[in-house]
Structure 1
């Protein structure tokens, strides 16, 4: 047992013992001297006799002896004939307070002993069992939720709240102090060299894209820390309850196609089109965000490996040796996968394992939307062409896809909700 615990336990028991000792004299003296506490009238009468008198002597045997003058006790009542009156002693047991005190002292001492014993049985830490609950996976490292933007940006923004986190960055909603406008602020997820380069590449591509169907960038800077400020949109396609009415889904798909066509004209491909990366304004106008996986059409011919989301990945992103490198038609496939989910309520392929999902993307054909809902028959040709395994069998440009959607909706080929 640690010395400090032993000392505290000893002090506790000593205090209890002293408390008991302090009660003992009170209990002992509460009924008077022990020899008188239970005195009887006969005993008091005997005590009043001269000690020189023989208790067996007759009436005349003590004549002639000199006896000292008797002094009445303070408790005695003296009568005119100087004969002490009978003294009545009150038995100590008629007053319960001494026994109550004794019982209290014993109870306190017993309580102290029990507490001391429990204290000594505790672990060496000297503390009771913690009230915290240890979860089965508590040993795993969990990233804590950041409180806000880096302190270096505190002068620019207030009312900061985290709204999203990805592999490359974190996005916050914040109120700009200069004009009280709510904006979105994105900063790198980490400040290592690789993340910094990818983040700045995304900002470089994104800053040059100005289109109604692409999230607008207000400013980009690397000081005091790398960040990008953009328009704030609180919802994404992922937040919508699906399936959507066919007309609504077609209008959203046309907006995404328009944004992609514009980016392709600028020489930029996205490569990660998915519901979470499509933001929505109050009128459900889609705006493409998160260009972290984007690259130029020229750079797409390199052998670098880009990230993607498997449920919306094109076959060439999984097996480039079979289907070729990712290019502008990769965005068309991914838009087809999003369009499919909007009208059916689920992605084109779903498997329990990643390996099974990747195999399905490469080898299997998706179930036509019309087999899930017969009212979607008009959309089958467009969606299934976007999802062709061979990029050569897809629409060859986003502009071509946009024209097909507009032609279909203009001809009322899409069923009304």
Structure 2
């Protein structure tokens, strides 16, 4: 065999270069890169360690492909400037700033271990009011410090909030890449020059979309969107059509969260005030917002313990709509049938005594808590299977069914976090479902189309075949 026929494994340096990444061992100032963490729109984040002290860190490096773009470099510099101007425990700390030999700017920051708020919401489906308050306090504290320093974040969303592991939980506000440095004008109102505002369309305030003057109330609007998603498990406006998303934020009032999940009306008032179209009707500051939120949920003085609610066994019936064909086929007939399916599911599950723990534009998840007695528990699971079967059959017979609409109906038993209802009518009210494994339908429901009721082993445990509906 000749030398040309020989093969060898690629080195780590070669593999990193093929992916457009810097190889381990690269020096960024006084820090040595150890490995890839994540890639964003314009930058790559690496784990690193100080060459002398060994202090762990994360290094964000502007991608080589865009390092020659003046606009991108200016945005990267603005992010650094914003972070360096704020010293707050809920804002990520900058250790060092520099430039690699290839003229790629970088900055070194504290290394965080944990998950984003976006990942937490996806895992839990939605959060209970107590946990929302616990997380919102540090978010608003960090944002308030930014506003006090003359900075509007302009992109306050769940993926830009990081929850560190450990107790007590530390929350950090990330990504000041499109933050605007403000100067005081006319007293305490900070204004920018007119021009279209960058940001994430699903969370943007009307004045930000229109490119008008903005101030800290842009972030208050985004906090309202975030609050809705944390409490309900979905954004207030859901559409894949960007023009329609913009129209909704400009013209359409959001539905009160309590119409989707059981929540106090006081929380509706907080969310809806944050998301007022006219900024003068919103909370004037994040501090004012936090005072209202504490009052709506009940602060520490109420004597209610914060943290995760107790886990109890439950059974869920989960309906998921899967549409066939491309997005260009969406029309009135398809929309009408999807609405019919969701209405039927919500109606039948409610009548059967299920708590509607999650409802979105393509799914309904109903939960029933299970009794402690083993025989009664098995009977309740068997009844849930019967409800799912009846729902599946009714959907198969629905009038005007669109062939592009397929519905999966699934049943699963697992732990769920539940909280007893409060107030004068607590004895008759259903408990509030605030999270738990049962709510993570993406982990137990089938990803593909199924044509009969799908029941997990835990849902069928101890039930004889001839007892199944």
TM-score, normalization: structure 1?
Answer: 0.60
SS of 1:292's equivalent in the other structure is: coil
Match of 1:205 in 2: 82
* Larger strand share, 1 or 2: 2
Counterpart contact for 1:258–1:402, Cα < 8 Å: no
SS of 1:396's equivalent in the other structure is: coil
**Residues 369, 144 of structure 1: CA spacing in aligned structure 2 closer, same or farther, 3 A cutoff?**
same
Counterpart contact for 1:149–1:172, Cα < 8 Å: no
| Larger Rg, first or second structure (1 or 2) | 1
SS of 1:218's equivalent in the other structure is: strand
Match of 2:178 in 1: 293
Show CA shifts across 1:336-359 (max 9, x none): 111111111111111131111111
Counterpart contact for 1:246–1:376, Cα < 8 Å: no
Paired residue for 2:276, among 371, 388, 394? 388
> Is 2:62 the counterpart of 1:188?
yes
SS of 2:89's equivalent in the other structure is: coil
Match of 1:239 in 2: 119
Match of 1:153 in 2: 28
Q: Distance in 1 between matches of 2:36 and 2:231?
A: 33
Deviation at 1:220, TM superposition (A): 1.9
**Bigger Cα displacement from structure 2, 327-336 vs 282-291:** 282-291
Show CA shifts across 1:269-297 (max 9, x none): 11111111111111443211111101122
SS of 1:183's equivalent in the other structure is: strand
Map 1:11-410 → 2, pairs under 5 A: 144-148=19-23, 151-153=26-28, 156-166=31-41, 168-189=42-63, 190-192=66-68, 193-222=70-99, 224=101, 225-234=104-113, 235-240=115-120, 241=123, 242-282=125-165, 283=167, 284-298=169-183, 300-320=191-211, 324-408=212-296, 409-410=298-299
**Residues 151, 305 of structure 1: CA spacing in aligned structure 2 closer, same or farther, 3 A cutoff?**
farther
Deviation at 1:145, TM superposition (A): 4.9
Deviation at 1:380, TM superposition (A): 1.2
Show CA shifts across 1:370-408 (max 9, x none): 111123433111111111111011001112112222334
Q: Distance in 1 between matches of 2:25 and 2:193?
A: 35
TM-score, normalization: structure 2?
Answer: 0.54
* Larger helix share, 1 or 2: 1
Q: Distance in 1 between matches of 2:253 and 2:88?
A: 34
**Residues 333, 169 of structure 1: CA spacing in aligned structure 2 closer, same or farther, 3 A cutoff?**
same
SS of 1:301's equivalent in the other structure is: coil
Q: Distance in 2 between matches of 1:269 and 1:296?
A: 7
Match of 1:123 in 2: none
Deviation at 1:306, TM superposition (A): 3.3
Q: Distance in 2 between matches of 1:186 and 1:392?
A: 37
Deviation at 1:148, TM superposition (A): 4.0
Q: Distance in 2 between matches of 1:148 and 1:252?
A: 36
Q: Distance in 1 between matches of 2:229 and 2:239?
A: 15
Q: Distance in 2 between matches of 1:400 and 1:379?
A: 14
**Residues 148, 316 of structure 1: CA spacing in aligned structure 2 closer, same or farther, 3 A cutoff?**
farther
Match of 2:404 in 1: none
Counterpart contact for 1:160–1:173, Cα < 8 Å: yes
Deviation at 1:303, TM superposition (A): 2.4
Q: Distance in 2 between matches of 1:308 and 1:373?
A: 28
Counterpart contact for 1:300–1:326, Cα < 8 Å: yes
SS of 1:326's equivalent in the other structure is: coil
**Residues 201, 407 of structure 1: CA spacing in aligned structure 2 closer, same or farther, 3 A cutoff?**
same
Deviation at 1:151, TM superposition (A): 4.1
Structure 1 runs (4+) greater than 6 angstroms displaced: 413-416
Counterpart contact for 1:340–1:348, Cα < 8 Å: yes
Note the aligned Cα RMSD (angstroms).
2.5
SS of 2:292's equivalent in the other structure is: helix
Q: Distance in 2 between matches of 1:402 and 1:195?
A: 34
Q: Distance in 2 between matches of 1:195 and 1:266?
A: 23
SS of 1:210's equivalent in the other structure is: coil
